[in-house]
Amino acid sequence: MAETHSLQDMRQQAAIAAKVFIQRDYTNGTICQFQTKFPSELETRIDKQQFEETVRTLNNLYAEAEKLGSQSYIEGCLACLTAYTVFLCMETHYEKVLKKIAKYIQEQNDKIYAPRGLLLTDPIERGLRVAVEFDRQITVQSF
Amino acid sequence: MSAVMITRKVRKWEKLPGKNTFCCDGRVMMARQKGVFYLTLFLIIGTCSLFFAFECPYLAVHLSPAIPVFAAVLFLFVMAMLLRTSFSDPGVLPRALPEEATFIEMEIEAANGNVPAGQRPPPRIRNVQINNQIVKLKYCYTCKIFRPPRASHCSICDNCVDRFDHHCPWVGNCVGKRNYRYFYLFTLSLSLLTIYIFTFDIVHVAMRSVDSGFLNTLKETPGTVLEVLVCFFTLWSVVGLTGFHTYLISLNQTTNEDIKGSWSGKNRVQNPYSHKNIIKNCCEVLCGPTYPSVLDRRGLMQEDSSVSTCADPTSSSTSTSSSSSGGNNTVSQTTHAILCLQKPTAPLIPNEHTPDDAKPSIAASAEKSSSPKEEHPPATKVPPLASPETDAETSIAKDKTH
């Protein structure tokens, strides 16, 4: 009985340990930034520098998307004058940067993470709440 | 008797939790109660129609044709802003998927330590430091997430909304991060339109009374009385509301924060989001970047539903033979069938299905079907998920008693 319990426990652990959640970092306010703290579960899997580099680049890209500068002001005013109908034909600056981010994540997955059996999901799929790294190698065979 | 899996593609909005209504195949998103929104539409369109019908012909001829033109432009702008506010996603945060919810539960258990049975667990709060102020993030029992700063759960729509301002029945939607500026422009332009119509009604009555007399004027254009009444009452409320929101914008606060008094009072935290500069605050709220919707409404997902049919060997064999690569698919179909028999009500976890992670997710859902999983209403302050720790602990306790 103890054995089945521990097997169940292990299965549960394995199913959860398969995903590592990188949480949002709110120290600079509500702008979208992720924590660069290196999760302990990934210590054996990937180089700390690589990971921090990835997260830092993502943070910079999101900061670029949300930047309050002359470009965003001009876009905002132009859109307001046209009653926001201009967005029917034009893509917003944020959407353009999101596409860049998706491409960057794809690139990182192909070059760095997939060879190590990891996968980084795009935070937009989780409502910009977490970025998820998951371990494709941990699979559970029998149930 | 065999269970046949029917997989059909549905749009994600059909499966979204929360009390929103969707139209135009997920493009339009509103609250459930829309009665007051129809009233708003009726009042605006009705009053403007009366204005164009009764006042404009006279004013165009006797004063200037620019008057109806400007009124038309203003009316179109008001309608555009209203529809944009009402139909767009206010900034709804999607609920946590099961793995994320479990992960957060585990973190909370680890942070709170062991709570003796019978005692209420401590409230779930996470402290973060924002611009050198400590802000508390609350845990949402319905959405199973720690709410980001400035987010709040709308009980009417049953969603957590980012930068939640308030739920406005007049626009039939929540007002949040994504549609706040449209809401503000709607109230501003509606104030201008109301003042405009009111002014020109008075001007029209005054000018016509000089020629025909006051009572005759009212008889000729009965719509004027109605317009003046509507405008008079609307003026006070809408202009007041616009003024209030202008004040909030200049301080970079939300209605929710203002009502709760989050940043007021001496002993309380000062607003960490304000730039301490009125112009910068206004620019951020009104001219900031247009945030995308993180709620994928129109994406496609698989919906697996099981249909029990009478045993029909011919049809089942044809279905298996028609599948592309015989071996793999029969195995996957069998596993799907097994899952279906175990727990027919639990759909497979959506939008994560790449071939590689099908196995862990199947394992996870099989695991969950064995452990008890209850739905707790948000009123109870107990962990809604039966966490694996409690199951493990009870089984360990059982072991010890043997």
What local confidence, expressed as pLDDT, does residue B236 receive? 93
> Pick from A2, A87, A125: which is nearest to B351 by CB?
A125
- Cβ–Cβ below 8 Å for B286 and A24: no
Helix (H) or strand (E) segment spanning residue B341: helix B326-342
Check if B168 is active-site.
Answer: yes
What local confidence, expressed as pLDDT, does residue A78 receive? 87
To the nearest 10°, report the CA torsion of B5, B6, B12, B16: -60
What local confidence, expressed as pLDDT, does residue A12 receive? 52
Taking the Cβ of residue A70 and every Cβ of chain B, the question of whether any pair is shorter than 8 Å is answered with: no
Interface test with B, best of A8, A97, A141 (most B CBs within 10 A): A8
Taking the Cβ of residue A45 and every Cβ of chain B, the question of whether any pair is shorter than 8 Å is answered with: no
What local confidence, expressed as pLDDT, does residue B354 receive? 40
Ordered DSSP codes for chain A = -HHHHHHHHHHHHHHHHTEEEEEB--TT-SS--B--PPPGGGTTTS-HHHHHHHHHHHHHHHHHHT--SHHHHHHHHHHHHTTTGGGGTS--HHHHHHHHHHHHHHHHIIIIIGGGTEEEPPGGGGTTSEEEEEESS------
Domain ranges of chain A: 19-134
Strand partners, A133: A20, A120
What local confidence, expressed as pLDDT, does residue B356 receive? 42
| Strand order, beta sheet including A130-135 | A19-23, A130-135, A118-120
Q: Which residues of chain B have pLDDT under 50?
A: 312-402
- Split at pLDDT 50, 70, 90, the class of A5 is low
Is the model's pLDDT at A55 over the cut of 70?
yes
Using left for φ > 0, alpha for ψ between -120 and 50, and beta otherwise, residue B137 falls in: beta
What local confidence, expressed as pLDDT, does residue B378 receive? 38
Which residue of chain B has the CA closest to A95? B292
Cα separation of B66 and B72, whole Å? 10
Which residue of chain B has the CA closest to A78? B287
Please enumerate, as own/partner, the contacts of B23-26 that have beta carbons within 8 Å and a separation of 24 or more: B25/B298, B26/B297, B26/B298
Q: What is the CA radius of gyration of chain B?
A: 29
Taking the Cβ of residue A8 and every Cβ of chain B, the question of whether any pair is shorter than 8 Å is answered with: yes
**What residue spans of B155-253 are helical by DSSP H?**
180-212, 214-220, 223-251
Taking the Cβ of residue A18 and every Cβ of chain B, the question of whether any pair is shorter than 8 Å is answered with: yes
Report yes or no on whether pTM surpasses 0.95. no
What local confidence, expressed as pLDDT, does residue B276 receive? 85
Taking the Cβ of residue A126 and every Cβ of chain B, the question of whether any pair is shorter than 8 Å is answered with: yes
What local confidence, expressed as pLDDT, does residue B232 receive? 93
Contacts of B86 (CB under 8 A, 6+ apart): B30, B37, B171, B172, B173
- Cβ–Cβ below 8 Å for A16 and B392: no
Chain B 314-333, CB below 8 Å of chain A: which residues? none
Is the model's pLDDT at A143 over the cut of 50?
no
- Chain A residues with CB under 8 Å of B252 CB are none
Q: Are B290 and A79 in contact (CB under 8 A)?
A: yes
Number of Cβ within a 10 Å radius of residue B248:
19
Taking the Cβ of residue B51 and every Cβ of chain A, the question of whether any pair is shorter than 8 Å is answered with: no
Place of tokens 């009402």: B86
Stretch among A6-10, A29-33, B112-116, B145-149 having the lowest mean pLDDT: A6-10
What local confidence, expressed as pLDDT, does residue B152 receive? 93
Taking the Cβ of residue B101 and every Cβ of chain A, the question of whether any pair is shorter than 8 Å is answered with: no
Q: Are A34 and A131 in contact (CB under 8 A)?
A: yes
Strand ranges in B79-140 using DSSP code E only, listed in sequence order: 92-93, 125-130, 133-140
- Chain A residues with CB under 8 Å of B362 CB are 143
Closest CA to B89 of B346, B358, B295, B266: B295
- Chain B residues with CB under 8 Å of A92 CB are 289-290, 292
Q: Tell how far CA B198 is from the center of its chain.
A: 35
Cα separation of B169 and B32, whole Å? 10
> Pick from A1, A27, A132: which is nearest to B130 by CB?
A27
- Cβ–Cβ below 8 Å for B289 and A2: no
For residue B203, CA distances in Å to A119, B60, B338, B361 come to: 69, 12, 78, 70
- Chain B residues with CB under 8 Å of A21 CB are 100, 103
Place of tokens 């973190």: B107
